Structure 1
């Protein structure tokens, strides 16, 4: 991927994005103390990636999600207020345990391309170090940015920037403004969790 394109689509400050999702993961974990809330979250995550704005965990958590979403938009330099945060099961092998009532830990999907470990949180608020070398026995829920939503927003930002630069520095040429076609391959269910970007 062209460096200008990648810099504009990925976070301007990846450490800020991970800090936001990590903080939200801790808040979500604590909410799982309540068995009714835990059952709802687990059911949503087991069904597939779920939009965190639709998770019904009370006004305080909803406010935290909105604040986190705003911070992610800022970190990525994206306009608007589209919901970009989701929760999902970290691996398909964890689904049977989740459905049988196992209490998961919650972690943020790392922005590192090759993480050696993840920091998760249990419902008591304790931190749990999760090795990335193998799929953990205890189920893990991941809080992360929905790149399927973020990618088109980032591409549009790049397109507008290229268009402005083109108008400032060159005569218009038919077909000249063609940003690369990009594919976002989200390795849902892969371990360790990560979200790669690739050229199309």
Structure 2
């Protein structure tokens, strides 16, 4: 993410409780792929795995096992089991690299080492299946996080790097090494909620039991859409989540994280009928929403720390107070590592809000309606 986009993301996060009153075709002659100027931990790990996997595909048994696994799981097959039960240096090397990489990715995303395998592999496009089945030698690349990249680094079975055109689908089969972002997102949302609560800005304080006994008012998302932003062939489906903020019943800033795993592609309208807000947990009739995307590099622990450090400085004075500049100036950019992408934000969401709400950034909209959740 560029520094300007990072600043916009931080502004949106710090403004949550404050602004409620306002405002590939392969290159003909393969050339060495240039090293990126700044490589994230996750990207570096994926690149190492891609190079190791590509070299291991010189082993016919491994190549056939990968072909079968990706055919059975088009959305992505786990990398860890590929070398299981196979002998030889290639299988051993792949198994060791994958095990080390799974732990490294979990650490880079602030998640626990007990999460299990996170890396997976898939064919870049279904149209490549015929050439692969016919025996074409595949390349291996990573599903990079930079959607503006002009080239994609790929490796052949000899371990040599070449550059693929990011704007044109390659005619040669390409496997993509990626993260199981759905699995990481679920774990990350749990971590966010725990860490925010532990730091005093989470969802620890809820409405009294007597208030919730009869039921509570919520806001339901009936439809949502992020505007069309064409992504290159090497980018898979997005994994999005929302940070919902306002003042809790105890008068402290409250942040709730809401997973939105169905919101995968730009230019598509989704109809989730998802409850976004439980208003019984909020003191005021206003809350704000920031929609973010886990691009693979999201460090959920760092995100929780950054949000808590900023929002803990804001006190309930009976109204939202515009302190954005002071808060932003106090926030070191170094607190953000492997940051997620800021997608859209909505301010002044009220319990009575209904109909289409356009995002402040102009990059999406959602339609909402009040919804009464009654006790059985």
Which is greater in Rg? 2
Q: Which whole-Å CA distance do the structure 2 matches of 1:3 and 1:107 have between them?
A: 33
Note closer, same or farther for the CA distance 1:141–1:62 as it changes in structure 2 (3 Å cut): same
Moved over 6 A (4+): 194-200
- TM-score under structure 2 length normalisation: 0.45
Q: 1:83 and 2:117 equivalent?
A: yes
Equivalent of 1:61 in 94, 98, 111: 94
Q: CA deviation at 1:183?
A: 2.2
Partner of 1:107: 141
Q: CA deviation at 1:98?
A: 1.1
Q: Which whole-Å CA distance do the structure 1 matches of 2:104 and 2:96 have between them?
A: 12
1:90–1:141 CA contact under 8 A, matched in 2:
yes
Partner of 2:66: 41
Q: 1:153 and 2:187 equivalent?
A: yes
What are the Cα deviations for residues 51-73 of structure 1, in whole angstroms up to 9, with x where unaligned? 01111252332111110011101
Partner of 2:49: 24
SS across alignment from 1:106: strand
Number of residue equivalences: 185
Partner of 2:356: none
Answer 1 or 2: higher relative contact order, Cα 8 Å, separation at least 6.
1
Q: CA deviation at 1:178?
A: 6.0
Partner of 2:282: none
Partner of 1:73: 106
Q: Which whole-Å CA distance do the structure 2 matches of 1:167 and 1:46 have between them?
A: 45
Q: Which whole-Å CA distance do the structure 2 matches of 1:3 and 1:14 have between them?
A: 25
Greater mean deviation of Cα atoms: 70-79 or 172-181: 172-181
Normalized per residue, the structure richer in helix is 1
Normalized per residue, the structure richer in strand is 2
Unpaired runs of 5+ residues, structure 2, are 1-8, 15-37, 209-247, 249-253, 266-294, 297-339, 345-365, 367-376
Note closer, same or farther for the CA distance 1:61–1:88 as it changes in structure 2 (3 Å cut): same
Q: Over aligned residue pairs, what C-alpha RMSD do you find?
A: 2.9
Q: CA deviation at 1:112?
A: 1.1
- TM-score under structure 1 length normalisation: 0.81
SS across alignment from 1:120: strand
Q: Which whole-Å CA distance do the structure 2 matches of 1:91 and 1:83 have between them?
A: 23
